[in-house]
Amino acid sequence: MARILIVDDSPSQLMGIRRIVEKLGHEALTAEDGAAGVEVAKREIPDLILMDVVMPNLNGFQATRTISREPTTKHIPIVLVTTKDQDTDRVWGMRQGAKAYLTKPFSETELSDTITKYVSGQG
C-alpha cells in the first residue's frame, strides 16, 4: 500500500480522485491548495503526489517546483492532473519537476494506470 497525496482545490475532484486511490488499496492524503500540498509533502513524505495546477495561494507548477527542489521531498514522483491541456503547459510542468501529466477529464483507468506505474517504481 502506498501513501498518495492528492492536491486539488475542488472538493468534488478531491473526492473522486481519493475514491480511485482508495479503491486501488492505497492511503489517500489530501491538501486543498499548493501551499498546503507542500507542507503535507514535507510532513508526510508520501510515495506519490497527484497535483492540480490551477489553485489559489501557490499554483501546481509552483508547488511542484518547490517539492522537486526540496532535499527531503525531491525523490517523490509528482503527476500533474489538470484541465490545462496545451503543449506549453505540459512542457512547463515537466520542467518544474513533474514526472507525468494527466489531463482532466481523465478516465478511472488512465488514473489507475498512472498511479500503479509510479507506486510500483516503473515511472
Q: Which of 8, 10, 75, 2 is nearest to 42 (CA)?
A: 75
Calculate the alpha carbon distances from 109 to 35, 83, 90, 115 in Å: 29, 17, 21, 10
Quote the distance between the C-alpha of residue 83 and its chain's center: 13
Question: Which pLDDT score is estimated for 117?
Answer: 95
Question: Which pLDDT score is estimated for 120?
Answer: 85
Question: Which pLDDT score is estimated for 31?
Answer: 98
Residue ranges for the chain with pLDDT beneath 70: none
Give the contacts of 103 (CB within 8 A, at least 6 positions apart): 82, 83, 84, 85
Question: Which pLDDT score is estimated for 105?
Answer: 93
